[in-house]
Amino acid sequence: MHLFYQPRVDPAASVLFLPEDESRHAAKTLRLNNGDPITVTDGQGNAYSAVITATDPRRCAFRVLSVESAMPRPFSVRVCVAPTKSPDRIEWFVEKAVEVGIERISFFFGQHSERRHLKLDRLEKIAVAAMKQSLQTYLPQLDEPVSFGELLKTVGEAQRFIAHLPDNEPPVGLAKTATPGGQYAVLIGPEGDFSTNEIQQALNAGFRMATLGNTRLRTETAALTACQYLNFLNQ
């Protein structure tokens, strides 16, 4: 199945067009021709069975034949993570998290963050490619990076966790703390970890400490591990 992404699909329109990068892929890489079947998703759970009506590497035209809509998952995973010093590591996380299954990725700059800039447009392209690669029809929401304090104000998920090892209490694993069927938000700190003040802010905002295992993980590994745990919990 050839899956393409077009965020604006009007199934009633007689002619629709793929974006330029998708058109180039269809015409140049896959060498599709007029009459060839394709599937187009808008990233909102809809899969449109379609047929190419005009092959053009800049503006490939298609016509919708039918549509199937997938229901959202009965749980949702949101990972809030500080960008890593090396941008390719956070790119790796976004790609793999989308493949595993995630509804929202939020970025924040913490007190100990070493990176203060993020190319969100590049991450969005990586997320689209991962969605298509894994044959999904929901594109996760990627949020513009904000300060840690501003991030906490946006969290409305009922099950909230901060990946941190408590000082004077027995550690509790995320897989044992979270319950199935929930709306989850997990905070993952930067390479320099959360500051003491940030941990207290999170606890005051209703987050619970949870660990991700017995080994020290890199930021991007911890973020993906949290995503995997919550997906496995709901299988």
Topology of the domain covering 76-233: Alpha/beta knot (3.40.1280)
Say if residues 16 and 6 touch (Cβ distance below 8 Å): yes
Helices (H) and strands (E) in the chain, counts: 7, 11
- Kindly report the pTM of this predicted structure: 0.93
> What is the reported pLDDT for 144?
95
Angle at 148 between CA 146 and CA 151, to 5 degrees: 65
> What is the reported pLDDT for 122?
96
Mean pLDDT over residues 189-216, rounded? Answer: 92
> What is the reported pLDDT for 234?
96
Q: Is 114 exposed, middle or buried (0-12, 13-18, 19+ CB in 10 A)?
A: middle
Rg for the chain, CA atoms, rounded: 20
- Count CB atoms within 10 A of the CB of residue 39: 16
Residue 162, strand partner residues = 187, 209
Q: Is 148 exposed, middle or buried (0-12, 13-18, 19+ CB in 10 A)?
A: buried
> What is the reported pLDDT for 123?
97
41-57 residue pLDDT tens: 999 999 999 999 999 99
CATH no. of 3-69: 2.40.240.20
Band of pLDDT at residue 182, cut at 50, 70 and 90: very high
Task: Give 150's contacts (C-beta < 8 A, 6+ positions apart).
Answer: 108
- Which tokens go with 35? 């009459």
So where are the chain's domains? Answer: 3-69, 76-233
86-143 residue pLDDT tens: 999 999 999 999 999 999 999 999 887 777 788 999 999 999 999 999 999 999 999 9
> What is the reported pLDDT for 158?
97
